[in-house]
Amino acid sequence: MTPEETKVALDMLSPRERVIKDLILAGCDNADIAKQTGLSIRTVKSYTNRIYMRFHIAHTVPCVSRIKFINAVSRISAVEVGQRSLVHLGPKEWHIVKYVAEGLSNPEIGKATSTTEHVVKNYLRVIYDKIGVWNRTELTLWYLARKEDTNNAAAGAAASA
């Protein structure tokens, strides 16, 4: 993998994957990462495997994958990697975020969106990953801040018109 391809792969990491990547580069094993992030070891393994796949690193021995990943990233360590500044949520994801901010439970959101509670949980996992939050409270705070920014921008546009 070339340094340019590595930069692109790093740019594509979600905020949660970036945290795990940083912990891997700091020398943490999966158990340490699980303790520091509050995730289960099984979830950490899933994330690390996903990260390794993005870097086209696959090996049956996990420590070999970890070493190859560290070597690939260290080749571009002097290069700044851009952050994803734009969050793209689909219309259904925005509805779910709004319902969470209003305090609805997953079954209530499922009824409101004509889906099941399980589908709502899956959507929330994807949304958490895209936005870089860990729970409903952080999601609500993110939504309220975003809503306030949108209202301020609309008020500023109306005042200048």
Q: Domain containing 121: what range?
A: 91-160
How far is it, in rounded angstroms, from Cα 26 to Cα 16? 15
How far is it, in rounded angstroms, from Cα 107 to Cα 100? 11
Residue 80 within a domain: no
Residues 65 and 126 in one domain: no
Residues in the chain: 161
Residues 16 and 68 in one domain: yes
Residues 104 and 57 in one domain: no
CATH code assigned at 108: 1.10.10.10
In total, how many domains does the chain have? Answer: 2
Are the CB atoms for 52 and 61 separated by under 8 Å?
Answer: no
Residue with tokens 């049956």: 60
Tens of pLDDT, residue by residue, the chain (161 residues): 566 777 777 778 888 888 888 888 777 888 888 888 899 989 988 888 888 777 777 655 555 566 666 666 655 443 333 333 346 788 899 999 999 999 999 999 999 999 999 999 999 988 888 787 778 888 888 888 877 665 655 455 555 55
Residues 55 and 97 in one domain: no
SS3 31: helix
- pTM higher than 0.75 for the full model? no
Residues 103 and 49 in one domain: no
